Amino acid sequence: MKEKEEDWSLVIEPKSSLFDLQLKEVWRYRDLLQMFVTRDFIAVYKQTILGPIWFFLQPLFTTITFTIVFGNIAGISTGGVPPLLFYMAGITCWNYFAACLTATSNTFVGNANIFGKVYFPRVITPLAIVVSNMLKFGVQFVLFLLLLSYYIFTGADVQPNAYLLLVPLLVVLMAIIAMGFGMLISAMTTRYRDLQFLIGFGVQLAMYASTVIYPVSGIPEKYKTFIMANPMSSIIEVFRFAFLSSGSFQWMYVIYPTVFAVVIFILGMIVFNKVEKTFLDTV
């Protein structure tokens, strides 16, 4: 007599493709994603005295420091924009990108214990990092808007324009680029732990090789190609132009980081999915 087939509530099968976003699985585990987002957002400052106020203090202190060092001491031009506003715009964008990249790059090593005990789509972990940091970006973005409102009220020569419609796209591009790079580096750190020590240093160097500190117009021509090869340079320049009408706008500043984001995300996803199958043997 033929045995009756059992009805399983969950069937775990190996991936058939390296480029598998597991969207259905992510949706099924959306409660876990929400829990990870809440954990990442709250746990960072849970036992601190000032708590969430650090979300405001960090970019504010950094902006003031940049204004003093690069604006007053070094005398780097901000293209006619009030230095506080100029640096705040760049720092708001860069903080989000850097936080996502740094945290995502530690996905496998930092979560090895969880990955080895229970099944869930591994891509949820970097996705949760990107979403939770987007909430932090929102807090710092509000601070930037308050500062912008103050300067507009006092008659400063800054004026938001129609390119504000591109801002949501810019945020998504920063998230995708950071997540793609982070998954790629995370996969590599399972074998080469040195990358964990280099990532913070590398992110800091990349900031100086972007338009966080100086406008595109202030870059010497012989270095401009190198600086603009950093996709964050284009994103920050468009962000500033949209809110401050400062600098220049070219559609290439949108097209290039978009293409870059797609390529690095696909590459990161392929490597991430490949390493996911065997990383517990090497971590």
Q: Token digits for 273?
A: 């999915």
- Report how far residue 63's alpha carbon sits from residue 148's, in angstroms, rounded to the nearest whole number: 14
243 inside domain: yes
> Is 230 within a domain?
yes
Q: How far apart are the first and last CA of the chain?
A: 47
Residue 13 lies in a domain: no
Does a structural domain hold residue 53?
yes
Q: Where are the extended beta strands (E) located within 150-267?
A: none
Rg of the chain in Å (alpha carbons): 21
Angle at 208 between CA 252 and CA 206, to 5 degrees: 70
Tens place of pLDDT per residue across the chain (283 aa)? 444 555 666 555 555 555 556 667 777 877 877 888 877 767 666 656 556 677 778 888 999 999 999 888 888 888 888 999 999 999 999 999 999 998 888 877 766 677 667 776 778 888 888 888 888 899 899 999 999 999 999 888 888 999 999 999 999 999 999 999 988 888 888 777 667 778 878 888 889 889 999 888 888 888 888 999 999 999 999 999 999 988 888 999 999 999 999 999 999 888 887 877 665 545 4
* DSSP annotation string for 31-49: HHHHHHHHHHHHHTTTT-S
> Total structural domains in the chain?
1
- CA separation for the pair 154, 84 (Å, rounded): 14
With CA atoms as reference, report the closest residue to 244 among 56, 13, 61, 82.
Answer: 82
Task: Tell whether 18 is covered by a domain.
Answer: no
Full residue range of the structural domain in which residue 193 is found: 23-281
